[in-house]
Structure 1
C-alpha cells in the first residue's frame, strides 16, 4: 500500500492540544501526511494569536485547552476563514454549542485513516485561490 502525501503536502496546520503525548502524536502523524505543523499550542489565547497571522491552511483544535473552552474564540477563527477540525474526548455533538455542532469533528483517540480523510475533506475543499 503506497502512501500518498501529495494532497496534504505543504499545508500549514495549527495544532491546539494541551496533552503532551496527544500533541506529539498529532504532530508526527500530520508531518507524515506532508503537513507543516504550527505549534502545538496549549492555550486559547495562543490559538487566536497564531490564527491572526493568516498564514494557516487549517487547524486541529482541542475543545478544552488548560481549562478554557475553544468555543469562545471559534466565531473569530471562522471569520478569519480558518478551516477547523474540532478534536475532543467526547463524540457527542450535543455537548457542543448548537452553532458549532456542524463543524468537522474527530473523537480521541484518533484513527490515522480517519484523521487523514477528515484533513483532506476539510483543508482541501475550495483551497484553490
Structure 2
C-alpha cells in the first residue's frame, strides 16, 4: 500500500528570487506540486507588497534580492503570520540575524524532493497562534 504525499494543491506561495533561471525552475516545480505561484518577484519591496496584499499560504524567499537582503521585511511578514522558507546559497545560520535563525531554510542548490519536503513541513502545518 502506498501512502499518499500530503497535498500542496491550491496553496498560494509567494516566490522571491532574482536569478531568472532559478526563479523559473522553482516556479515550475511549485506548480507541479499544485501550488499557485505569486511572482516570482525579484525585489524586496515587491515581496513586501505582495505579502501585504494577503491571501498567501506561504513564501519562499531568497535572502539576497538584487543586492538587498530580505531580513528588513521579515518582521512585517511575521506580523502578517506568513509562513516563510528562506533560500540561500549559504547554509550557515550564523550568517543570518539571530532573530531569523530558526526560520525554515533551504540551502541552494536544492532538489525537488528537498523543496517538497520543506513546503509540506512549513506550509501545511497549522498555525498555533
So what's the TM-score if we normalise by structure 2? 0.93
Cα drift, residue 121 of structure 1: 0.5
Cα drift, residue 76 of structure 1: 0.2
Which runs of 5 or more residues in structure 2 are unaligned? none
Is residue 45 of structure 1 aligned with residue 45 of structure 2? Answer: yes
Which runs of 5 or more residues in structure 1 are unaligned? none
Cα drift, residue 54 of structure 1: 1.1
Q: Deviations over 1:85-112 (max 9, x none)?
A: 0000010001000000000000011121
CA contact (8 A) 1:15 1:59 kept: yes
Q: Deviations over 1:42-87 (max 9, x none)?
A: 0000001000011100000000000000000000000000000000
SS in 1 for 2:94: helix
Distance 1:42 1:32 in 2: 21
Point out the more displaced range, 118-127 or 15-24: 118-127
SS in 2 for 1:90: coil
So what's the TM-score if we normalise by structure 1? 0.93
Distance 1:126 1:78 in 2: 15
Is residue 114 of structure 1 aligned with residue 118 of structure 2? Answer: no
Structure 2 residue aligned with 1:125: 125
Show the 5 A alignment for 1:49-60: 49-60=49-60
CA contact (8 A) 1:5 1:32 kept: no
Cα drift, residue 6 of structure 1: 5.8
